Chain A
Amino acid sequence: MNQEKASQTAKSGSVLIVGGGIGGMQAGLDLANSGFMVHMVQKDSSIGGTMVMLDKTFPTGDCSMCMISPKMVEIGRHMNVNIHTLATVTSVEGVPGDFTVKILQKARYVDPNLCTGCGTCEEKCPKKVTSEYEQGLTVRKAIYSLFPQALPNTRVIDRDNCIYFQKGKCRACEKFCTAKAIKFDDTDKEFEIRVGAIILSPGLDRYNPRVRQELGFERWPNVVTSLQFERILSASGPYRGEVKRPGDGKHPKKVAWIQCVGSRDSHNANPWCSSVCCMYATKQAIIAKEHDGRIDPTIFYMEMRAFGKDFDKYVDRAKKEFGVTYRRAMVSAVREEPGTGNLLLRFAQENGVLKDELFDLVVLSIGFQPHTDAEAFAKIFGIEPNKYRFAKTTHFNPVDTSRPGVYVTGIYQGPKDIPETVMQGSAVAARAMALLGEARGTEIKVKELPPERDVKEEEPRIGLFVCHCGINIAQTVDVKKVAEVGASLPGVAHSESMLYACAQDSQDKIKKLVKEKNLNRVVVASCTPRTHEPLFQDTIRDAGLNKYLFELADIREQCSWCHMGQREVATKKAMDIVRMNVAKARLLQPVETGSVGVTPAALIIGGGIAGMVTALSLADQGYHAHVVEKENELGGLIKNLYRTLDGSNVQPYLKDTVSRVTAHPNIIIHLGTEVQKTDGFVGNFKTTLSNGEGFDHGAIVIATGGVEYQPTEYHFGENERVITQRELEKRLAMAGPRSRERYVMIQCVGSREEPHNYCSRICCQDAVKNAITIKEKAPDAQVIILYRDIRTYGLREDYYKKARDLGVLFMLYKEDKKPVVEKKGYGLSVKAFDYLLGKEIAMEADYVVLSTGLRPHPTSEKVGVMYKLTRNTDGYFLEAHVKLRPVDFPSEGIFIAGLAHAPKNLDETISQAQAAAGRAGVLLSHERLGVSGIISKHNRDLCMSCLTCFRLCPFGSPFIDTDGKVSHNEVKCVGCGICASVCPMKAFQVNNFRDDQIVAMIDALTESAS
């Protein structure tokens, strides 16, 4: 009955996101950028989640904060996102499309509209409290912000530790707050909102190793958790990035990592594998070594689970370039050497000999586990938890919870890495868009702007505003003097200093002055353009000025912060910086930003499961999807897949998907044909197929998939008893195993060795799945798996345990001592070396089963060239950003899903396919695409078509036009400036960064110097 009731009342056009980590943020941005109002509920005082605590990330070593803060700024300023911090959901009623949610928001005691986040209150607050963010390594104050880049960076008072709240004295923060933002009488608030869909991204707790006293955490001071070590490594951490040990502050030389603390331990801790610890330990070892070359890292591990893209190469680099010692032996206890604070670890070496080794610092690689209130959390949202209190989902709908309309992303669905979380973020966005398709755009706010004043002919009249930024600038730079000297610069019509240029009142003042004094250019001297330039540009646009008539001079990051305390020099430098930006401002021209139409349809190359799921999701969102499949039928690789690891039946799912795709009105299927040519640019592609058909579309999704590696090793092909896992699976599905049959499986065939040094990620699952099937049907069958690392990561670890319980024998082999397979009578003999017994084992087998890996699809090369998409050394397409844009390409409008990106399991392919549909959905949801103002302009008269720009531009915007000469497609241009720097005839100039402007800045600097 509820179903029809919902359809009578109009669906809500807003979505609730519970949890402000990277998964929630990705979903929030995708939804807000495609016409949905987002309510984000976060229980901490700032969004960011776990990722903001990390220093660097694997496998690229990107700094975590640099990746996440632009997203935080974007979501913080987004008109269609309301962030409710210190808030939790207390109840949820209703049906998909029409949920009523009650939210309890704890008092913050600081008024967000007044507080500018200057930090004076925090400095003056006398009460010190151990900092949870810094994992207890250092202290924070009773009034604090979670971390320097917190968002919102309004401070919050910790009621339990604030002297005023506990003893009624102090109120120091109120005394020193110039913005008068402290409100001791603030109260908890409860309010209700109506949403159409709910997305759960609450993340997880980290395992607290205190319960395992033998590891010595909080007992021996130099035993730290891996998250504490992240803070130790981080430049904003307690030791400012200097690798010291908490015990005595000394620089540790020998550092040990102990893996699987709290994971893969059904006896004393959590039975699942937390998926990320192997890789973050490797990264921490490398980064530590970069900080301090004398560090000698050792990692004690059980299995090195480097299953992701380029992970194996990263581990190899750790071994070869950074001298990280990997010991495949677990430590039983961590004892402390009395007096020195060093730690004694005992372990078994490969040859069995026990060794004691002293370490200066021990890092416990802790895993994840659901929040302590996971049960209550699940009850509030009415969803079913699985037996480990994660959100229960199915293999074929990895982001749908048990309750329709409620979706889950991130580690609350199961331990995973950041890229998979971001993928699921976009996937749940797609699911919500599909559910609330017709309510798109019904609840979002659109801003009206006054007409732009034409200032082309006017003499430059520049308004200069120099900011104190509380103490951040004024403490080192004489801001008043800079403003005074600035006033005398040619073209400056008004100059003054301001306490906080970014504060709301200063914004209003600037708007008033622009109108009163008829200013036609504005220069603000304050902080980094990265975070605040869009803010000021919108302000002067509100005053009727073209937003590109603005210059931000950074006198904080590039002046006061790095010349702390040197007052005269810093002030002189600030004046130089201001003079340069004013000189450039004089030459600023208004820039029109055009826009292009968007065809609400997508081209999906590849009719495998990835292509089909993307097509269905886009079609449900109301867009047309053209599926182009080379073969004569849909299905791709999973045609010969029967069961998934958790036993779900694949063939019925495939048939159902194929029938839904063929039946869907919005999906047009082109079989037995390939893409001939694609012209146009994002939003306006035109594709012709090899069978002559052609159509327009706004987005492209690459789902070319992959192929199974056809092995040549181990006599495959010569002896019909040497088969692949696929053939075994088919055989088991048809005939089933006979009792006492003997199977020997060999892992990593064609993977993890040059020239294919990558893990194909699915073969361990296949082997364990088939082994379980055999042993369940024929308990007395012999199943031996010869492996290098069993990589059943995440919740798949249960099946590795199940296989062992059923009596499957697992034997380690190493790359330099591969198993030897020979014919013996009717069957086969297999010889392998057992490292525990230190001797060779001879086995017999009726079947040797090779776990073969995956290879990129042969068409990847052609498709790559066609769309200028680069591929990594293994031949898989290179996504825009390995961590935060795993589904996009650098050039706009092209997305990727499935095996074409990298080997992955079926449920991960489905997540990525839904994510691609989400990202494409965001693009197609716009009628028109605004083109950024800061792009390159091409002067065809000067251009002699030397093609240098054509060859260098990564986005393919210069192209050979019909008249044989080079033209420039401004829509594809992202303004990176490569063409402008190489053009011999200076035919390219980037708006706001023209040669004359930059030369003017340089002259302004050099004049004053001489």
Chain B
Amino acid sequence: MTIPAHEYDPEKARSLMNEVSERSGQNLSACYQCRRCAAGCPVGEETGYVTPDRLIRMIALGDRRAALENELVWRCVSCYTCGTRCPNDIQTARITETLKKMAKEAHLEPLRPKIADFHSSFLESGVRWGRVNEMEFMGIYEMKGALKNMKRKDFKAIAEELKTQTDFGLTMLKHKRMHMGLLMSKGRKEIQKLQKKAKKQRGK
């Protein structure tokens, strides 16, 4: 089965390139496909070999669907190895971060819901209390996971997750590493106001 040829549309390609370049602050067209980033990417094997160089190539050729829906966008651990060693100074980790936001804006179902839920729960907790409360944000994160499993009626996964989390909690308690109190920062209102303001601006 030969993969169907990709129709290259210069307009589409340029608009995707401009959007990603601007929002990530990276000059994608500078890439000369040396594949150093692929060799250096620690999660290269986990993403089904969708490595940073191929991600840039998707964007350069205007393949928006492929660019937004691939494993690298979600599983990139933002370790910035690719960008630090890129001879043309392209920080692909910033590109995956941008593509995560673009995927969300395009209401695309994240390929790795757990990762998306983790980061949204973490940040929400941070903004809500001013400081991240581990017990609370992990709770919300697990709830979101459980809800998804519930919808899929995957009770075994829920049970398993519950078991690992409780075991983990117990060892943390045993080693007196479990923090019980509630961390807060009074000035969190300023952060929340900034967040609202930014959302309004983005909305325009």
Do A and B come into direct contact in the complex, CB within 8 Å? yes
Q: Name the A residues within 8 Å of B88 (CB-CB).
A: 266-267, 801, 804
- Out of A269, A742, A780, A839, name the residue touching B5 (CB < 8 Å): A839
A840 on the B face (CB < 8 A): yes
For residue A300, give the distance in angstroms from its CB to the closest CB of chain B: 9
Inter-subunit contact A805/B29 (CB<8 Å): yes
Tally of chain A residues near chain B (CB < 8 A): 50
Q: Name the B residues within 8 Å of A341 (CB-CB).
A: none
A836 to B81, CA, bound (A): 20
B7 on the A face (CB < 8 A): yes
Inter-subunit contact A807/B35 (CB<8 Å): no
Inter-subunit contact A267/B86 (CB<8 Å): yes
Inter-subunit contact A807/B53 (CB<8 Å): no
B49 on the A face (CB < 8 A): yes
Inter-subunit contact B57/A354 (CB<8 Å): no
B31 on the A face (CB < 8 A): yes
CB-defined A-B contacts under 8 Å, sample of 25? A264-B87, A266-B87, A266-B88, A267-B88, A269-B87, A328-B35, A331-B39, A332-B81, A333-B40, A347-B35, A348-B38, A352-B38, A354-B45, A742-B10, A784-B8, A804-B30, A804-B32, A807-B14, A809-B29, A809-B60, A837-B54, A837-B66, A838-B3, A839-B3, A842-B6
Nearest opposing residue in chain A for B2, CB measure = A840
A268 on the B face (CB < 8 A): yes
Kindly identify, within residues 18 to 46 of chain B, every residue whose CB is under 8 Å from any CB belonging to chain A: 27, 29-40, 44-45
A332 to B66, CA, bound (A): 25
A842 to B53, CA, bound (A): 20
Q: Name the B residues within 8 Å of A740 (CB-CB).
A: 10
What 0/1 pattern do residues 664 to 704 of A give for CB contact below 8 A with B? 00000000000000000000000000000000000000000
Q: Name the B residues within 8 Å of A264 (CB-CB).
A: 32, 87
- Out of B36, B49, B81, name the residue touching A352 (CB < 8 Å): B49
B161 on the A face (CB < 8 A): no
A805 to B90, CA, bound (A): 12
A267 to B34, CA, bound (A): 14
- Out of B13, B17, B32, B87, name the residue touching A267 (CB < 8 Å): B87
Knowing A332-B81, A354-B44, A842-B5, say if A836 contacts B33 (CB, 8 Å).
yes
For residue B18, give the distance in angstroms from its CB to the closest CB of chain A: 9
Inter-subunit contact B51/A352 (CB<8 Å): yes
Q: Name the B residues within 8 Å of A260 (CB-CB).
A: 34, 87
Q: Of B29, B36, B63, B88, which is in contact with the most chain A CB atoms at under 10 Å from its CB?
A: B36
Inter-subunit contact B36/A330 (CB<8 Å): yes
For residue B143, give the distance in angstroms from its CB to the closest CB of chain A: 36
Kindly identify, within residues 74 to 107 of chain B, every residue whose CB is under 8 Å from any CB belonging to chain A: 81, 85-89
For residue A274, give the distance in angstroms from its CB to the closest CB of chain B: 14
Q: Name the A residues within 8 Å of B10 (CB-CB).
A: 740, 742, 780, 782
Tally of chain B residues near chain A (CB < 8 A): 43
- Out of B34, B35, B38, B89, name the residue touching A266 (CB < 8 Å): B89
What 0/1 pattern do residues 790 to 803 of A give for CB contact below 8 A with B? 10000000001100
A329 on the B face (CB < 8 A): yes
Q: Name the A residues within 8 Å of B61 (CB-CB).
A: 809, 834, 837, 841
A943 on the B face (CB < 8 A): no
Knowing A266-B88, A352-B51, A354-B45, say if A837 contacts B40 (CB, 8 Å).
no
Inter-subunit contact B8/A332 (CB<8 Å): no
Measured CB to CB, the residues of A under 8 A from B are 214, 260, 264-269, 302-303, 328-333, 346-348, 351-354, 740, 742, 780, 782, 784, 790, 800-801, 804-810, 812, 831, 834, 836-844
- Out of A347, A348, A841, name the residue touching B8 (CB < 8 Å): A841
A445 to B142, CA, bound (A): 95
Knowing A330-B34, A800-B32, say if A268 contacts B8 (CB, 8 Å).
no
Knowing A266-B89, A268-B85, say if A332 contacts B37 (CB, 8 Å).
yes
B138 on the A face (CB < 8 A): no
Inter-subunit contact A840/B30 (CB<8 Å): no
A887 to B2, CA, bound (A): 53
Kindly identify, within residues 121 to 164 of chain B, every residue whose CB is under 8 Å from any CB belonging to chain A: none
Inter-subunit contact A302/B17 (CB<8 Å): no
Measured CB to CB, the residues of B under 8 A from A are 2-8, 10, 13-14, 17, 27, 29-40, 44-45, 49-51, 53-54, 57-58, 60-61, 63, 66, 81, 85-89
Q: Name the A residues within 8 Å of B54 (CB-CB).
A: 352, 836-837
A807 to B34, CA, bound (A): 17
Q: Of A269, A780, A837, which is in contact with the most chain B CB atoms at under 10 Å from its CB?
A: A837
Inter-subunit contact A347/B39 (CB<8 Å): yes
Knowing A332-B40, A839-B6, A843-B8, say if A804 contacts B31 (CB, 8 Å).
yes
3 pairs of A and B residues whose beta carbons are closest in the complex: A332-B40, A348-B38, A782-B10
Extra 5 A-B pairs, beta carbons < 8 Å, given A347-B38, A831-B5 = A268-B85, A269-B87, A348-B49, A801-B30, A807-B29
A82 to B5, CA, bound (A): 69
- Out of A302, A347, A841, name the residue touching B32 (CB < 8 Å): A302
Q: Name the A residues within 8 Å of B32 (CB-CB).
A: 264, 302-303, 790, 800, 804, 810
Inter-subunit contact B35/A348 (CB<8 Å): yes
A844 to B5, CA, bound (A): 13
A74 to B4, CA, bound (A): 67
For residue B123, give the distance in angstroms from its CB to the closest CB of chain A: 31
Q: Name the B residues within 8 Å of A302 (CB-CB).
A: 32, 34
Inter-subunit contact B89/A267 (CB<8 Å): yes
Inter-subunit contact A348/B30 (CB<8 Å): no
Inter-subunit contact A329/B40 (CB<8 Å): no
A214 to B40, CA, bound (A): 11
Knowing A267-B89, A807-B14, say if A837 contacts B45 (CB, 8 Å).
no
A871 to B108, CA, bound (A): 65
Inter-subunit contact B14/A346 (CB<8 Å): no
For residue A281, give the distance in angstroms from its CB to the closest CB of chain B: 16
- Out of B5, B31, B86, B87, name the residue touching A841 (CB < 8 Å): B5
Nearest opposing residue in chain B for A345, CB measure = B39
Nearest opposing residue in chain B for A835, CB measure = B33
Q: Name the B residues within 8 Å of A800 (CB-CB).
A: 32
Q: Name the B residues within 8 Å of A782 (CB-CB).
A: 10
For residue B190, give the distance in angstroms from its CB to the closest CB of chain A: 37
